[in-house]
């Protein structure tokens, strides 16, 4: 009997392994086709998953919330945060936090109230739906950002909000389900449940961040700094990404936020203490992990959505989609307008960014995973099933409708203008930077006594020759396209002004200048940076208006004053 059971279990494991192989093969094929037909990769995966859902499931893979949240989502979050540098994040941390925390709270309340009022769903069940559907998933949008050359700031705003609001949404969802399971009536215990909810929210959210930062700090300084073995260091980051989630959840705090915090620590501290070989290995490995996790997540989304359940629930689906779009509009336009009203000009969020942030608020893995946890034990079988179908429909709408049209919106707003000569200039600059980095590494190895003099002479001579050729290539290209020199000047001037602004703050911190003088000088520096932004805007070609001569920094600054 025991032997037969063992054989049955082994057979099931082989079937699951075969299913995984088939899914990864399908993902690779979809990736090849989507590149040729210019369709978002994630959208194509969902479409293929929907097609496969009409056939009997041969994969024997149980698509559960634990599989998505504990296995597939942590690598996605960790890989994304590895690429985010604190210097860039700090510049827009206020709007990101406002959108991720306040925005998710507002979205939960708005959607919950609409669902309760229109569909007569119990309040806590409606709030649970509002929370799970407030978690945005920008994977499809970010992939377009990278291919279209959209501003890095816009990409950071969208991605930063998503990384943080995932954890916030999970905390709010868990609170709504927990209160419902405890039999708490929000109508009778309004103030007390609000206070209890706030305390629980900050405990879970801040506790998750603390776990992630501590584990990330230990790995960054204890292992990545003291070892020089790319295999051990890479395997340690895998343990960190998965372990941060498990340990945080064990302490009943947010595992998602723990992974985000751990990734930020490794990306900003750990990778700075490693060798170039380790950094290259980490980048390649985590890029592969993200590809696999993305592929499986979006295939699972398509497989789990039951199209036949959509039509009987068409009214709740329409209400849910409209509620989500309405709440997203209130959150994005309202919060960014208020933030831009009280901040300096360089930090204001342009209207074109807001449109992309609104329409690019796609839903995906987190919403699906949380919906799969809904059972009849808490909200009743009818309401639980209705909320699941609504979730699947909203995810499908955002991916197939918004995901397909977001590229047209980006181009319509003029945010994807990358002329070929600019791309060629970037390629030539990249070659120069890489050759210089290689020469610096050779010099370090020579200084540390790792290279013999004759080897260093021969290799560095090759690098110096290639660097000279790259400089000549850049000069020739700039002579053919003089406008590139103006762009380089604007970028250099912007970098210099940022350095000046940082020096002004340092001078105040060291009591060299007073706070009043600091504010005066910072205001002047901000105006000059805003002038440069407006100059760039005036130099950007517009199809609807005739081309005009660009303004000077002094002219724009005087007008702004």
Q: Is the pLDDT of residue 180 over 80?
A: yes
Task: Identify whether the C-beta of residue 370 lies closer than 8 Å to the C-beta of residue 170.
Answer: yes
Domain residue ranges in the chain = 21-412, 420-481, 495-561
Where does residue 398 rank: exposed (0-12), middle (13-18), buried (19+ CB within 10 A)?
buried
Looking at the domain 21-412, which fold is it? Na+/H+ antiporter like fold (1.20.1530)
Q: Is the pLDDT of residue 561 over 60?
A: no
> 6-20, 109-123, 337-351 — which is least confidently predicted?
6-20
Stronger pLDDT, 412 or 15, i.e. the higher one? 412
State pLDDT tens for residues 477-520.
777 776 667 777 777 777 787 778 778 877 887 888 888 888 78
Task: Identify whether the C-beta of residue 391 lies closer than 8 Å to the C-beta of residue 133.
Answer: yes
What contacts 311, CB < 8 A, 6 or more positions away? Answer: none
The DSSP secondary-structure symbol of 273 reads G
**What is the per-residue pLDDT for 14?**
75
- Our measurement of the distance from residue 96's CA atom to the centroid of its chain's CA atoms, rounded to an integer in Å, reads 11
Task: Identify whether the C-beta of residue 299 lies closer than 8 Å to the C-beta of residue 34.
Answer: no
- This prediction has a pTM of 0.73
Residue 164's pLDDT band, with cuts at 50, 70 and 90, is confident
Q: Find the length of the chain.
A: 561
Long-range pairs of 144-152 with CB within 8 A, sequence gap ≥ 24: 144/40, 144/406, 144/407, 144/410, 145/410, 148/407, 148/410, 148/411, 148/415, 148/416, 148/418, 149/416, 149/417, 149/418, 149/423, 150/356, 150/410, 150/415, 150/416, 151/353, 151/415, 152/88
**What is the per-residue pLDDT for 359?**
92
- Partners of 122 in the β-ladder: none
- What percent of the chain is predicted at pLDDT more than 70? 84
Q: Is 122 in a helix, a strand, or coil?
A: coil
State pLDDT tens for residues 527-554.
777 677 667 655 554 433 333 334 444 4
The DSSP secondary-structure symbol of 189 reads S
Task: Identify whether the C-beta of residue 302 lies closer than 8 Å to the C-beta of residue 46.
Answer: yes
State pLDDT tens for residues 270-318.
887 777 777 778 888 988 888 888 888 888 888 777 777 788 889 999 9
């Amino acid at each position: 009997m025991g032997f037969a059971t063992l054989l049955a279990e082994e057979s099931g494991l082989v079937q699951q392994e075969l299913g995984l192989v088939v899914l990864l093969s399908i993902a690779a094929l979809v990736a090849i086709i989507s590149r040729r037909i210019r369709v978002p990769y994630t959208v194509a995966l969902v479409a293929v998953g929907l097609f496969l859902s009409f056939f009997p499931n041969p994969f024997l893979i149980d698509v559960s919330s634990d599989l998505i949240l504990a296995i597939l989502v942590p690598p996605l979050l960790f890989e994304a945060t590895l690429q985010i540098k604190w210097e860039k994040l700090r510049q827009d941390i206020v709007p990101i936090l406002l959108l991720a925390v306040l925005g998710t709270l507002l979205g939960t309340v708005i959607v919950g109230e609409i669902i309760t009022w229109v569909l007569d769903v119990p309040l806590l069940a409606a709030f649970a739906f509002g929370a799970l559907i407030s978690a945005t998933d920008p994977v499809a949008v970010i992939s377009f950002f990278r291919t279209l050359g959209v501003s890095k700031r816009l990409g950071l705003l969208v991605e930063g909000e998503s990384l943080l609001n995932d954890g916030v949404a999970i905390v709010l969802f868990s609170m709504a389900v927990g209160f419902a399971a405890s039999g708490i009536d929000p109508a009778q215990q309004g103030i007390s449940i609000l206070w209890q909810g706030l305390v629980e929210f900050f405990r879970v959210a801040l506790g998750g961040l603390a776990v992630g930062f501590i584990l990330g700090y230990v790995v960054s300084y204890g292992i990545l700094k003291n070892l020089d073995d790319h295999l051990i260091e890479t395997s340690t980051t895998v343990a960190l990404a998965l372990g941060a989630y498990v340990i945080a959840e064990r302490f009943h705090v947010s595992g998602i936020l723990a992974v985000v915090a751990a990734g930020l620590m490794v990306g900003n501290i750990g990778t700075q203490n490693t060798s170039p070989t380790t950094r290259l290995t980490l980048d390649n490995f985590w890029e592969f992990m993200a590809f696999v996790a993305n592929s499986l997540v979006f295939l699972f989304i398509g497989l789990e959505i039951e199209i036949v359940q959509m039509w009987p629930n068409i009214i709740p689906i329409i209400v849910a989609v409209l509620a989500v779009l309405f709440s997203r509009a209130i959150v994005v336009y309202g919060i960014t307008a208020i933030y831009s009203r009280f901040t300096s000009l360089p930090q204001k969020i342009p209207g074109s960014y807001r449109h992309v942030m609104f329409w690019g608020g796609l839903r995906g893995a987190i919403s699906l995973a949380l919906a799969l946890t809904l059972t009849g034990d808490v909200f009743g079988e009818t309401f639980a099933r209705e909320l699941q179908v609504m979730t699947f429909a909203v995810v499908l709408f955002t991916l197939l409708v918004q995901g397909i049209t977001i590229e047209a919106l980006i181009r319509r707003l003029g945010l994807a203008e990358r002329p070929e000569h600019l791309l060629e200039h970037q390629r030539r600059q990249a070659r120069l930077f890489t050759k210089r980095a290689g020469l610096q590494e050779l010099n370090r190895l020579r200084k540390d006594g790792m290279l013999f003099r004759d080897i260093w002479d021969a290799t560095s001579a090759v690098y110096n020759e290639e660097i000279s050729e790259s400089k000549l290539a850049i000069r020739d290209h700039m002579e053919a396209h003089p406008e590139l020199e103006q762009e380089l000047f604007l970028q250099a001037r912007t970098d210099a002004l940022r350095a000046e602004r940082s020096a002004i703050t340092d001078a105040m911190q060291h009591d060299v200048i007073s706070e009043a003088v600091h504010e005066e000088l910072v205001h002047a520096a901000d105006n000059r940076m805003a002038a440069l932004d407006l100059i760039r805007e005036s130099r950007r070609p517009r199809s609807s208006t005739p081309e005009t001569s660009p303004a000077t920094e002094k002219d724009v600054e005087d007008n702004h004053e």
